[in-house]
Structure 1
């Protein structure tokens, strides 16, 4: 008589059940061990910490603190990535996690009353949303800034532990939530890369003298620019042999000329407008430029990979430098008297110059970010399209943007140049028509190098814009000036040598 055969699925079912029972038993044992043990100092702290993390309030406040106290682009990116990672984790928990395993909350009989939360959660226990948010935020911050990540990690761990300590979750709920939060932060990084994941910008090497401790370096500081005054103190500490001059904006041109005559290299500390002035002087004198980010945005410095005084100081000590292109424009017809102007980042016509003017008017009173929002609302509500001849045809234009090098996407947003010496102009045009705000949004979504009835983006080596009304405002590197009837825009390839840290 044949022996009945048992399917592998049937034979493994008891083993799976035994393993599940053992895990649940261990989970309950650890929960009861935590409840029975006295944790010195934890009773007044952990329940409050657990409540403070409700709805992510603790992490939003922490992100604001990092952005303000850090006062650097890396800190702001860390804060933003932490919040974005938290949002992804929360969405995953609320849409999938809580409905996948409907586990009852622990029974609180073993948990001392003083530890218990006054308002008990009513959702299912698995996984822990608080642990997921804490882990996602801490991981997101650490992916952009290891220093801030080390500060946030103990707080995140304490929040996760508080969920078991107060009796609202089993340990496995917390571990699963933390794993989900970490996964959410890395998933977001896969879609929106961190700055460290991006390829290094194009770096044709330049010749520059090594200046240990800043010897023979003269640094001009715009004392009214962003964080320049505080940055100047860091420059003096890092480069004690450098000459550091803090001057008013009106004195910058004369100070740069004087610094170029006194040193072997020219240093600048300020925003993009200040760096623009220094770059023109350095290129004219054929000397290397050392950039210390001290403005509000510092686009050029960050595209070089310079975020701190230490980055520039290390490049000066080693004599590491690269060559970059310098954008050039003539604010009048060919052959007319008029000095050439230069730009490191971008040149623009249309709504942007008026936006810059309005922002600069309000920023001393309400801050740069708030002034930018107010300026955008004011300009897009009341501005009319610019009438100009572009590519041989007269047309209404809301915006003409000419970038010094091709701006590429960082995640969903165009924002960084991978090659600072590509010899190309990144030309983007928003055509005239109703709804400038919607047209600008459509252009942003469309991205670079596209053509549509709303937006066009092309690569050029030179651009001519004619038929302008005399006195038409234009902007370059955040500064505003006024044109004649014609603008000629091109590039000086590899015209500027800049100290820049080399990738390891």
Structure 2
């Protein structure tokens, strides 16, 4: 029987929370209207502020880390700004709206937080678990959190990756030595390599987010801020199958970037200052005199593209915010690649592209295109194509052949893990959230 890492709410309970979320949000706006009917200008300003506060509160409840703090700050500031309006000195009204906004956000998460990607079966503790640690990943997270000692306390054998060691050889040695659960504490590139070994040996895999970005952990529904908590997956856990993707025989868990963004990834400054490196280098790479990348590929309509400035191929479709892959996937078992291409008018659109990238709204750029496919091939006349594979720089001989490996990996997560990626918990945009709440209310979702 399918289980989840947290209590599964009944359809009736979810409908109740959806109704509460919609009523609380609408009431907050209605109270604002009633108080401000005397001044239409203030009415518009206050209604906008309350709407921003509701949307930010919804976002704060499903995001984690700095983005949660930022969303919460926006909600508080938007509410606080209403107090500065001349006719809004009634603190009782202010407190009522604060409560309504908080209630709407909490009820929204309860109604929509039914993570489809958290389905899995209950499994018992690993008989012989092995955890490989990369002490250099994430600025030394493995040592900072004492992961080796914590693993030993759980009966899991820690294996430290030392300078000069071959990570795949260590993983193969652990598999050949009788491990039934294989884990990796490190970045996404290391996760992909060890996950591939686990796949080939039919072993279960544990992801411990000890890297810098930890996109795989995010989409598995793990709390990236609580690194040691992931070790609980070696004990009583939930296990499910997820997809892996492959590029010319090399497995990746997140995405591969080609074109000008791959050139940015090659920069030695990229790993420590991604946003700043992007903003500094993109204008030059997309300047009027810069050559277009030699990347040729088929389009969904059967035609062919002879060039694109950016090609991003992912292990499952992303809800993409940035070209660097700073988005999330609703599920990891879609059975298809996600393909994104971006083509830029060099004379006029470079500033707009940089602005969209920095603002996290890349999908709204006019030259943006996305689709899904089980396979994808990129050809080039170059002897080697620059690529960023799970954020790591590489140079690969074309043609580049991508394919999805559906359900290839057995992955374990703690039973009390958050359970889903942000994309699975909340639709994109306030309008989509409201529509999703109405679908829950009408019983059209399960």
Quote how far apart the aligned CAs of 1:201 are: 4.2
The equivalent residue for 2:296 is 389
Query: Which residue of 240, 243, 255 maps to 2:157?
Result: 243
The equivalent residue for 1:286 is 202
Quote how far apart the aligned CAs of 1:204 are: 6.1
SS at the partner of 1:219? strand
Distance 1:228 1:201 in 2: 30
The equivalent residue for 1:99 is 86
1:167-316 mapped onto 2 (5 Å cutoff): 173=91, 176-185=93-102, 197-202=112-117, 205=120, 210-211=125-126, 216-226=128-138, 227-230=140-143, 233-234=146-147, 236-237=149-150, 240=153, 241-248=155-162, 250-251=164-165, 252-262=167-177, 263-307=179-223, 308-309=226-227, 311-316=229-234
The equivalent residue for 1:144 is none
Map Cα deviations across residues 209-268 of structure 1 (whole Å, 9 max, x no partner): 522xxx511111111111532465146336511111222364223322222223221111
Distance 2:402 2:309 in 1: 18
Query: Which residue of 247, 253, 273 maps to 1:329?
Result: 247
Distance 1:196 1:414 in 2: 26
Q: Quick one: structure 1 residues 248 and 74, their matched pair in 2 at CA, closer, same or farther if it must change by over 3 Å?
A: farther
1:320 aligns with 2:307: no
Q: Quick one: structure 1 residues 194 and 235, their matched pair in 2 at CA, closer, same or farther if it must change by over 3 Å?
A: farther
In the superposition, the TM-score normalised over structure 1's length comes to 0.59
Quote how far apart the aligned CAs of 1:477 are: 1.0
1:86 aligns with 2:4: no
Distance 1:292 1:195 in 2: 27
1:417 aligns with 2:417: no
User: Which protein has greater RCO, CA pairs closer than 8 Å, 6+ apart?
Assistant: 2
Query: Which residue of 395, 400, 404 maps to 1:487?
Result: 400
Query: Which residue of 341, 361, 369 maps to 1:429?
Result: 341
Query: Which residue of 353, 359, 377 maps to 1:464?
Result: 377
Please tell me whether the aligned partners of residues 316 and 335 of structure 2 are also in contact (alpha carbons under 8 angstroms).
Answer: yes
SS at the partner of 1:401? strand
Quote how far apart the aligned CAs of 1:389 are: 1.2
Please tell me whether the aligned partners of residues 256 and 389 of structure 2 are also in contact (alpha carbons under 8 angstroms).
Answer: yes
Unaligned runs of 5+ in 2: 1-62, 420-446
Query: Which residue of 324, 328, 349 maps to 2:258?
Result: 349
Please tell me whether the aligned partners of residues 224 and 248 of structure 1 are also in contact (alpha carbons under 8 angstroms).
Answer: no
Quote how far apart the aligned CAs of 1:185 are: 5.0
Unaligned runs of 5+ in 1: 1-72, 102-125, 128-172, 331-339
Q: Quick one: structure 1 residues 288 and 421, their matched pair in 2 at CA, closer, same or farther if it must change by over 3 Å?
A: same
The equivalent residue for 1:45 is none
In the superposition, the TM-score normalised over structure 2's length comes to 0.66
Quote how far apart the aligned CAs of 1:269 are: 0.5
Distance 2:409 2:93 in 1: 53
Quote how far apart the aligned CAs of 1:357 are: 2.5
Please tell me whether the aligned partners of residues 210 and 317 of structure 1 are also in contact (alpha carbons under 8 angstroms).
Answer: yes
SS at the partner of 1:284? helix
Distance 1:478 1:362 in 2: 9
Distance 2:70 2:147 in 1: 26
Distance 2:144 2:221 in 1: 17
The equivalent residue for 2:319 is 408
Quote how far apart the aligned CAs of 1:182 are: 4.3
> How many residue pairs were aligned?
333
Q: Quick one: structure 1 residues 474 and 244, their matched pair in 2 at CA, closer, same or farther if it must change by over 3 Å?
A: same
Please tell me whether the aligned partners of residues 133 and 185 of structure 2 are also in contact (alpha carbons under 8 angstroms).
Answer: yes
Q: Which has the higher helix share?
A: 1
Distance 2:67 2:148 in 1: 23
Q: Quick one: structure 1 residues 91 and 221, their matched pair in 2 at CA, closer, same or farther if it must change by over 3 Å?
A: same
